[in-house]
Each structure stands twice: as structure tokens, then as C-alpha cells.
């Protein structure tokens, strides 16, 4: 008489799933660093001309009522 054993998946995760999850977390962490602190972050220094806007040099004519 032979006894057959049925193998079932008891819900345990595989190693490849864990590796993919860790890789995804690292990619998100690198992207956050790049756009907040790294070279992809926007500049916060003022423009080199001081940020001034030139005023018009010709006065508008006055209209008479």
C-alpha cells in the first residue's frame, strides 16, 4: 500500500518576489533622492541679473476727456 502526499502551496512567498520588492523600494528611494536633493532638483538661486524687470522707457500718452 502506497501513501501519496499532495504538495500544496501554503502561501509562503518566493525569494524572487522578495528580491523584486526590495529592488522596487530602492528604485523609488533613488528617484525621491534624485528629484529632491540630487542633480535633478530645481535650482533655488536667484537669476544672475538680480531678478529685475526692465521698466518701459516711453510714457503712455494721457487721454483727454
What is the residue extent of each domain of the chain? Answer: 15-41
Higher pLDDT, 36 or 9: 36
Number of helices followed by number of strands (H, E) in the chain: 1, 0
Q: How far is CA 54 from CA 22, 51, 57, 59, in A?
A: 53, 10, 9, 14
Taking only the tens place, the pLDDT of each residue in 37-55 is 877 666 666 666 666 777 7
- Is the distance from CB of 40 to CB of 34 less than 8 angstroms? yes
Q: How far is CA 28 from CA 15, 23, 24, in A?
A: 20, 9, 6
Residue 30 and residue 22: Cα distance in Å, rounded?
A: 12
Higher pLDDT, 22 or 55: 22
Res 58: pLDDT: 76
Amino acid at each position: 500500500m502506497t501513501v501519496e502526499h499532495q504538495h500544496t502551496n501554503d502561501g509562503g512567498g518566493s525569494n524572487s518576489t522578495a528580491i523584486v520588492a526590495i529592488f522596487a523600494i530602492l528604485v523609488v528611494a533613488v528617484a525621491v533622492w534624485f528629484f529632491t536633493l540630487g542633480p535633478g532638483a530645481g535650482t533655488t538661486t536667484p537669476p544672475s541679473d538680480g531678478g529685475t524687470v526692465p521698466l518701459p522707457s516711453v510714457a503712455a500718452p494721457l487721454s483727454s476727456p
